[in-house]
Every structure is written in structure tokens, then in C-alpha cells.
Copies of this chain bind each other. A is one copy, B any other.
Amino acid sequence: MSSSVVQTKSERTRAIIRDVALRSFRERGYDQTTIRLIAHEAGVSVGTTNYHFASKNDLVQELYLDVQQSHRAAAVPLLADSDDLVDRLGIVFRTGVAQLEPYHRYAPEFLSAAVSPRSSINPLSGESAESRDIVVGLFRDAIEGSSDKLPAEFRDDLPDALMLAHLLLALFWVYDSSAGQVRTRRLLDRGLRLLKLSLPLVRSRLLRRPLRELLDLIAEVKA
């Protein structure tokens, strides 16, 4: 998806390089995509490519943005149809996993390149903030637009916790070799059912202390 208001020649060149790179990531994966190959296919020099994108990982950030913009475009219309909290969270998770599908074949390569906390394409890195914020924002919208009102302490911490849960689900998906990754969808369905059964208990006195502990634990992971 190129920008709709491409103006200067430089911007056009940048958009071409970006589109070529995104197609290459999808068709060749991470390891086999090189700046040299992208330059060749975009019909520009390696120098021009490097002028627009200093490294392959800068182009992976374009891929992340593209994936999460598609995620938002897929989730938002569906969110308009439900005010049930768990349904709404399910929409965000399901449309998120759906965006990843074209990349499953090469997912182990992307995972190896991105998993190190020192990697600029780590989903939790500063460089990845823009695409990560789209996911956090979608979970926040899912919660705020729901008719189920959560205690404030939950509401504030939940979007970040759900973004982490989404990353763990994506990790499971990388490992999922079932046809069409049906096990990932089953795991998600079970997780949502568990959440649905647990939500009415949020205010139960019996569970007040365990839930407080769970929130503190999530805050610890986020910190």
C-alpha cells in the first residue's frame, strides 16, 4: 500500500523501494532479502536505496507498519458491530493473526532476527514503537467501546498486557505447523472462553487478592 499523496520524485522512489522490499519479505523471507536485490528490482542503485533506508531492518519497520495498518483497517469495521468486551478483544486478536498469514513460511527467520532484546526490529524496541502503538491502541479501543465496565485498575493496564499476550500468541503461531495454523485459532478461542468465564469473577471477594497479584505481575512484566 503506497502513500496516496506521493509527490516528489524522491518520495516516489522511496515508495517503490518500500513496495519492492515488502514483496520480497513476503516472497523470499528475511534472510534472502538483501539491499542489493531490492535496489536491483526497484531499478535504483544501492546508494539510492541506502539513502532512503539505512538498513534492511529499516525496511522491516515499514513491513511492521504495513501489517499493523492492515490490522487496524480489518479490525475497526468489525468492532462497530459488537459491544461485548470479549467479542471485541477476539476481533483484535483474530484480525491481528490474520495479517501474519502470508509470512508463516518465513516466520522462523523473522523471529530469529527480531527476538534479541538488542535487535532494532524487536517488537518491544524503541524503533518498533509506531507499529506497536497501533496494536495497543486497538486493544484500548476494544475495551473503551465495550459495554462491560472494568475496574479502573484493569482498564489502564490491560491494553499493554493484551499487546504482550498478542506477541505470545504470535510466538505460538510461529511454532504452529498445523494446517492453516488452526491450532493457533483454537488456542485463541480457548483463551477468550477462559476470559469470558473469568470476567464475572473480577469483582468476587474470593478473587480480589489473586487478581491484585496478577495485575502486579503484569505490571512487573511491562516495566
B187 touches A220 (CB 8 A): yes
- For residue A1, CB closer than 8 A to chain B, the reply is no
List B contacts of A197 (CB < 8 A).
Answer: 209-210, 213
CA A175 to CA B194, docked complex, whole Å: 28
Interface of A (DSSP majority class):
helix
> How many copies altogether?
2
CA A124 to CA B108, docked complex, whole Å: 14
Interface residues of A (CB under 8 A from B): 108-109, 111-113, 115-119, 124, 168, 172, 174-175, 177, 183, 186-187, 190-191, 193-194, 197-198, 201, 204, 206-207, 209-210, 213-214, 216-217, 220-221, 223
Known contacts A187-B217, A194-B213, A197-B210; 17 additional CB pairs below 8 A are A108-B116, A108-B118, A108-B119, A109-B116, A111-B115, A111-B116, A115-B115, A117-B177, A168-B168, A183-B220, A183-B223, A187-B220, A191-B217, A193-B213, A194-B210, A197-B213, A201-B207
